Each structure stands twice: as C-alpha cells, then as structure tokens.
Amino acid sequence: MNKGTVVLVAWVMMVVAFFINGYTLSVLWSWFIVSKFGLPALTIAEALGLALVVSYFTFNHAKHEWNDNSDEEKVFRLVLMPFLKAGIFLGFGWVFLQFI
C-alpha cells in the first residue's frame, strides 16, 4: 500500500472515529447522567461538541512507534481501534448499568 492510501484511510477513519465517539458518549450519557442527575439526553451532535471540548482540555500527544509496522498493519489499527474502543466502553457501561 502506498503512503497516499494510508494517509487517506487515516483521514477517513478520523472522521468515522469522531462520530463513533459521539454516539458512544450519547449512549453512556443517557445511561448514567440522565438517570442519576436528571439532565437532558444528548443528541449525537451535542455529544460530539462535548467530546470536542473535553478533548481540547485533555489532549496529550502519544508517541507511537509506527516505523516498525507494515502499511497494512497501520491501516488495520486505524480501522479497528475506534470500533474496539467504542465496544469496550459500551460493554463495560452496560455491565455497570446492570448494577444501578
């Protein structure tokens, strides 16, 4: 895979990950914040805005060692990680919800 393809996939997956994170936040917010504090549910757009604000204040640049990986492995990580992260957070959230 050439470098241009990897860059294109990276940009597309950043956008996809952004929306997956917004959806995940809106679900977790509905499960825990709405029921406990009586606040209104968040739409996905509102969750995206909240995630953007929180990310702005908590951003840290993690150094990744990408040089040792093949292009296919890089793309695989870019595609898989947003879904894996959302699945883990929603899975643990659902388990915690069962105890409320």
Per-domain boundaries in the chain: 3-50+69-97
- Mean pLDDT throughout 18-38? 92
40-98, pLDDT tens digit by residue? 999 999 999 998 888 878 766 565 555 666 777 777 777 788 888 889 999 999 999 89
- pLDDT value at residue 67: 62
- pLDDT value at residue 82: 83
- Give the integer Cα–Cα distance in Å for 65 and 95: 33
- Mean pLDDT throughout 24-38? 93
- pLDDT value at residue 84: 87
- Give the integer Cα–Cα distance in Å for 74 and 91: 25
- pLDDT value at residue 61: 58
Element (H, E) at 39: none
Q: Answer with the residue of higher pLDDT: 29 or 72.
A: 29
Closest listed residue to residue 3, CA positions, set 66, 50, 59, 58:
66
